[in-house]
Structure 1
Amino acid sequence: MTQAAAPPLLTLSGVVKSFGAVRALTDIDLEIRAGEVVAVMGDSGAGKSTLVKVIAGVEPADGGTLNWKGRAVQLSSPQHSQNLGISAVYQDLSLCDNLDVVGNVFLGREIRRGGVLDEMAMGRRTRGLLDSLSIRVPDARVPVASLSSDQRQIVAIARALLREPDLLLLDEPTQAMSTQQTNKFLDLVEMLRDRGLGIVFISHTMGDIKAVADRVAVLRLGRNNGVFNVHTASQELIVSAITGATDHAVAHRSTERKEDGV
């Protein structure tokens, strides 16, 4: 008897998010499986960062259905998403420059023994996390302010991995990196995928997407405008969906509304 395939880690169906009168996301469909990188692309204001915040529980969806491992859920808070197994690394990294690496990794989740910080335990755990990643941080006790862009990103990822998540959200992770730093970081993304993590990778750089993503979902004006297999879809096809030269879902829905007399 053939064993049934595992359900996707996360499935979004018809997800809607508004901020007052502004509709940021409309009827968003997305599926992320374990061991794959799903890129999200789109122009500024397309809804990419809002999508990450919805999944992370920072900005709960106003409507639609979200399923986690086949079970309907409401990602109502960051704590709820984290408890399920979802971790996010945002564009600004949210690091405290005056704290050392260990302090940043355990910020808000410090280990205490008898009411006293267990610096040795946190140091061991931090070094273990850093050693498991492909970009080296020379000393876990140096202030984060002294680190390079890729090293700072690694500290933020180590903090995200502390809870051993199943799904990792990366919002424009290579934006401030040099070409050499970016290449090292993309190797890390591939390594995490090979470990079985599902990864949502938001980027505006086609080269990064082509290097590590399995599929790319394009958002345009807060709507799905195509999901493409990165290995078979041409760069021109993806770019046309981003710019609106090819209005996949957007044009289809607009036609449906006109036919309905809306």
Structure 2
Amino acid sequence: MTRMLERAPNLAILYPRALVKRGGGHELPDTRLGLRDVAVERERLTEYHRVCGFGPSDTLPGTYPQVLAFPLAIALMSERAFPFPLPGIVHIGNTITQRRPIAATERLTFEVRTGNLRPHRRGRQFDVVTEARVGDEPVWDSTATYLRRGAGTGAAAPEPGEVLPTTAVWRVPGNVGRRYARASGDRNPIHLHPLTAKLFGFPRAIAHGMWMKARCLAAIEGRLPEAWTAEVRFAKPLLLPSTVDFGVRGRDFSVASGGRPHLTGRAVPAPGNATPHPG
């Protein structure tokens, strides 16, 4: 049963609550959260285009619905029944399927759930699954995989893919975490400032993983069909500021520094629907 919310959860309230929340058991709850008729704020969308490198468009970047649904995911992981506190949870993989282009004027209905709790060599991993519809039409979905660090089990874990030869050098400024936070609403303190990042064990602020994915997809935007699936694995954190090597071969891509990957990924055609509705 999906519990439909009347309004989007407030991340400014949820983050402090999640940071002090204790674990609530050993199993993932079967709770599902939903939100109807989510509209796009054009000003935030424009800033998202700029910080991620997308050109102006009347359709949403394929990563943008994740931004709109993110407060639901944090709300779900902040509930008492969720077994893990938010600190110590690491985003290690993300798969998005865009079934057709989504017009910026269309309203989306989201449903978010967790599942597939399983061993990992560095703890346990689980998925946050998000689905988006326009009316009754499924148009987009994602699976975000998170690691809860802890006692390892010896279970095999997917390794990052190949670091590709450099096709571009990106200079990532120190303020990109704050700019992405303004555009996305994701104000996790590890991304905002060296001092707040140090509280969580990082020497400097780190880039959002979903900023890296969006930046890569923006770089290969012209190679993507209308319906696609893009899967990435996140590796070592990208400290800010940094200079990184971007590599692309076909629709495979990587972000690395010193030969070590920050992200590796691949986009492939996916079964699609039709052209975007006019909204």
Which one has the bigger helix percentage?
A: 1
Structure-1-length-normalised TM-score? 0.24
- TM-score, normalising length: structure 2: 0.23
Specify the structure having the higher radius of gyration (Cα). Answer: 1
Q: Higher strand fraction: Structure 1 or Structure 2?
A: 2
Larger RCO (CA under 8 A, 6+ residues apart): 1
